[in-house]
Structure 1
Amino acid sequence: MTERVNRTLKLLIPIYPQQQPTSWDKEIQKLAYAIRTAVNEITDETPAFMMLGRDPRGPLDLLIEYKKDLINNLRYAYNIVKEHAEMEKLKQKDKYDRHTTDRRYTEGDLVWVAIPTRQIGENSIAEKLQPHYQGPCRLIKQLTPSTFTVLRINDNVQLGATNTDRLKPYFKPIINNRNTTAIENDQITNERQRTTTNNNDEVMDDDLNLQHVKEKNPSTCYTPPQRRVSNRHHRLPIRYIEN
């Protein structure tokens, strides 16, 4: 085996003097390291492992080991982040479901559709003054259990696929005759005025009777204080009167 190593050294050493004629002897350690870490054909092991029981660690081994450690650390961090993200998703879903109502819609229903938030500068009117819903709209096709194709009735414009979270039921307004409503309001007002006048007359009669009794028996008759009834009529706003 020694003769085989010497023959290998004789083939490798002449290479260095040609490239480094003054320092070729300092490169012999590199040749020795290459021979010690090369796998022998007979033993199928490296000479360093046969002598020391382990392979020497070179620069490439350090780089590979660092790469493996980096990959393992990143994989561990990704798993932790994934688990934490799944837990946060469940928490956020639970908070969202607390304030939602499961509404069932079918094709043909009339609904309001929420208007997406506009970007700053798109409209001259302030965002707070903008309407939050558009409609009435009709559900023309159900794509998924929670998605419908919506058609705006006013101008027959399709709003595309819309989730039920952005929908609100539309109820047709009840239109009453204005003349009938005004007559009913006047009747209610007159009836209240008539009731107030009758109450005032009754209170005045009671006051006269009590005054007559007091004059006859001033020492034995006690007159309880009477609450005055105001003649002022309080008319309710129109919004409190049933149509």
Structure 2
Amino acid sequence: MSMVRTLIDPGRQQKDWDEQLPFAMLAYRSSIQESTGETPAMMMLGRELSLPVDVMIPPQQSVDERNKDTDYAEELRNRLHDVHDRARNKLKLSGVKQTRTYDRNTELNKHNVGDWVWLSDLQRKKGVCPKLVFKWEGPYLVTHRLSDVVYRIQKSEKAKPKVVHYDRLKAYNGEAPRNWLNSRRTNPNRNRRIPQRYLE
């Protein structure tokens, strides 16, 4: 679903999700999974999928492979056995790695004032499927850290600030927009009101 969300055209109101589904499934089935070290196609079929590049540039087959007279079912059975053995060993290593990563990330990665972040959008929109909606909006600028887990953020200088919990934020890694907090620091008199007696 995450793949389909990134492929659908925002201007078509999710009406093209079924057109993008085959491309998302091809990408998923031919991608090596981090936990198993194998592609889903290899785990299920005992072979890799034929991708467009394979059609354009067919793999060269050696003479020994062309002349090899073996039973296909036996060869497939052996291949699947080897693949599943490798996947089981990889899963054991992945479990240890995931445990270590979880323990390391239990401490909060705090956002600082001036950082740009994404905000999780929990609102449900009428007429669209919530599973296909991009669940992050922004970026927002962190203007104040009210506590270790509560932040005040703002989308633009004139936008209304929001107070949100840490769980609804994640770091923004794109090109950062203009940070108006910096301009306020360099020009402290920018928003200061001039007394009326000096204008008369």
- TM class by smaller structure: 0.3 to 0.5
Return the TM-score normalized by structure 2: 0.32
Q: Which has the higher contact order (CA 8 A, sep 6+)?
A: 2
TM-score when scaled to structure 1?
Answer: 0.27
- The structure with the largest alpha-carbon Rg is 1
Q: Which has the higher helix share?
A: 1
